[in-house]
Amino acid sequence: MNMKKTFLATICLFAGISMYAQQIIDVQPVPQKVTPATQTIKLTGTYQLNGINEANPYASEALKTILSTDKSVKGGMKIYIGERGDKAVSKYKKFIPAQAEGYFLRISPKEIVLAGYDERGTYYAVQTLRQLIKDGQLPVTEIKDWPDICFRGVVEGFYGTPWSHEARLRHLKFYGQNKMNTYIYGPKDDPYHSSPNWRLPYPEQEAKQIKELVQVAKENAVNFVWAIHPGKDIKWNQEDRDNLLSKFNNMYDLGVRSFAVFFDDISGEGTNPDRQAELLNYIDEQFVKMKKDVTPLIMCPTEYNKSWSNVKGGYLTTLGTKLNGSIHIMWTGDRVIADMYEGDTEKGGMKWINNLIQRPAYVWWNFPVSDYVRDHLLMGPVYGNEKHIADMMSGFVTNPMEHAESSLLAIYSVASYAWNPDDYDSMKAWRDAMEAILPSAALELETFATHNSDLGPNGHGYRREESVALKPVAERFLNDYLSKGTYPIEDFLKLLDTFMQMKEAADILMTNTENPALISEMRPWLIQHKLMGELGGEVLALANAYEQGKQDGFLRKYKHIKALQQQMFDVDQTYNQNPYQPGVKTAGLVIKPLIDQTFAKAVEMYNNKYGTALDGNADYIPHTLTSDVNQLKNLPLRQKTNRISVSPANEVIKWQGKGFITIILDKVYPLMTIDIDFGKPEVTAWGILEISTNGQDWEKVDFLQNKNRIHANGEKKPIKAIRFTNTQNKEQEIYMKNFTITIEK
């Protein structure tokens, strides 16, 4: 090192300047403007608090908690806290960003300033200060910060088991810490949110819990938005108007000051856009504006994505022209599950929808929601939404999984994206989330999440990257092994190490006690993940045994692999037995195909060489589904023992006239029963059920319908295919709740 560099290093050391010092400015979400730190200061433990009684009381209480004191000591470090206009921060007014929820934070050797544009801005300044404290040290810096998107948060709008009260309380605190200001309460399976009981007040216990949630939300700078879903059975009359206002007033008495009305996933009279607009304007004028302290109304339309929108039918344009301008309209994108992009007014994207509804859309982003792939955990990075479209949205909320703790990985990242999209770094946010959620086992959680991010084949066609770093290794290994029967040793070792890490991570996570709720949710997938890692290691050992000509070793590994496959099947048949997509799937995009194909190839080569007939099949679904109904043709088939089922869909299926769905079996089986639930009575008026022994010649099958449930007795007739057809020219709106074929094997 030359003398000049030595001298500079010495100055930096004594001045407290270092590369490390600059890296201390690591805040979630990333602030808009940060002055690089030039030194750190040590917190003294005594503080002179100025403005503490005038500022946002929740920000003041949070500050006292961070400082571990509620006493102001003359001569201590000076701390100024308040909102623009407060006396305590009046001399810093010019530094405060003129943006709602913005704040100015200054940390110097002489003072700390936390000045908000409004009360929420002050609260966020305190949250930033909390993050900056490391081992009693603070960086000397200035931060000017504000959100780019007005409303940021979570909509609990999934189908399935609603979150527990305790989980919601934990989430609300998490949102406040990460500068999310919105929680929309709209679980589809809450009967007092939707039909049949939306008109009724909550029972005493549930009402008490909502009141507590509202208060905790307020303490954490979060709008608790209560949503109602009346469209399934609403009557367009004054009685139901009064019922709805009565329910809203009831919720208002519980402390709710933010409201939403959902018209999603319905059919029939409830979908009328003129009626919807008329009702929503009535609520807006007779309730929202009358109350004075209620935030603007939010609505979710029936046509909430482009693929379901009939522009010529005028639904969206009716809302755009007739709905009061203050009412927000939610939107999921070009499809039910889609990422947001700018687009244009002709083809799609944010410009397309905003042009129709004549206001910035309020984005309902359907990730990491898994109610249509319930055998998966979706724990991968948050990516895909364009960064420069903040001004095209009035809000951005994520719809999570029914697994509340597991959803926090994605929610953390959404908080970062929605605050400052331009500086959003998906991989950094993802890894930071693990440190925040499970710091004692963040590396193991990353190993697990890396291989649990894709959704598998699904009706919405939405997929995510998985096992990204391993993918080129797996492709190279398989290419060589399937074509030549050999493999590069370096790839073999890399795969072996990955499988070992999978086992280790699962064991470490399953015994972790830092976040019991998270581990409990993940446990079925952790068990399967460990078995997958063990299976991968044994398949590689099988391939190695064959290469070395060790027949005894090969057969020993083969028996163990078959045992592991059976164990994984048992886990799949035992855990997470929901009625929609039961079972436990893990590492399905890269790792499982690698294992299955390697195993099949090794067994094939062994059988050819030694004249044996070992079974090289891994589990798979040999049957196929075909349909000309867009919303049905991509639904996966699932098999459990002797039952073949179409994966249910939550949304309304628009089944065009003469449209069909056909399930083709891999061979002819004796048919036991066919059970169908399209969520509608009187299906016989428009549909027929048929079976075929060859897939070409069809025979009509009579069925019985009890309410919405259809049952047909197969009488052990031989079948190769089953078909259901809309025989009418008219479109039918149905729900794919159940379509199950039971065969004799």
**How many whole angstroms separate alpha carbon 551 and alpha carbon 548?**
9
Q: Is the separation of the CB atoms in 87 and 51 below 8 Å?
A: yes
What one-letter code names the amino acid at 248? F
Burial class (CB in 10 A: 0-12, 13-18, 19+), 68: exposed
Separation of alpha carbons 63 and 82, rounded Å: 11
Answer for the pair 229, 198: CB distance below 8 angstroms, yes or no. yes
Catalytic: 697?
no
d(CA 94, CA 71) in angstroms, rounded, equals 29
DSSP per-residue string spanning 27-75: -SSPPSEEPPP--EEE--S-EEEESTTTS-HHHHHHHHHHHT-----TT
Neighbour tally for 197: CB within 10 Å: 14
Closest CA to 89 of 139, 55, 41, 123: 55
How deeply is 220 buried, as exposed, middle or buried, from its count of CB atoms within 10 A (0-12, 13-18, 19+)?
A: buried
Q: In whole angstroms, what is the distance from residue 452 CA to residue 440 CA?
A: 20
1 in helix, strand or coil? coil
**Residue 280 phi, psi dihedral angles, 5° rounding:** -65, -40
Kindly give the residue spans of alpha helices, DSSP state H, lying in 254-296.
273-283, 289-291
| d(C-alpha 689, C-alpha 337), whole Å | 31
CA distance 738 to 194: 21
Provide the 3-class DSSP secondary structure of residue 692.
strand
143-149-153 Cα angle (round to 5): 100
Contacts of 62 by beta carbon, 8 Å cutoff, 6+ apart:
123, 126, 127, 130
Dist. CA 179–CA 420, nearest whole Å: 11
Tokens of 209: 């819990």
What are residue 356's phi and psi, to 5 degrees? -75, -40
294/302 Cα distance (integer angstroms) = 24
Q: How far apart are CA 146 and CA 97, in angstroms?
A: 7
Angle formed at CA 407 by CA 401 and CA 409, multiple of 5 degrees: 150
Asked if the bond preceding 36 is cis, omega within 30° of 0, the reply is no
Q: Give me the catalytic one of 265, 334, 572, 596.
A: 265
Give the residue numbers marked as catalytic.
Answer: 265
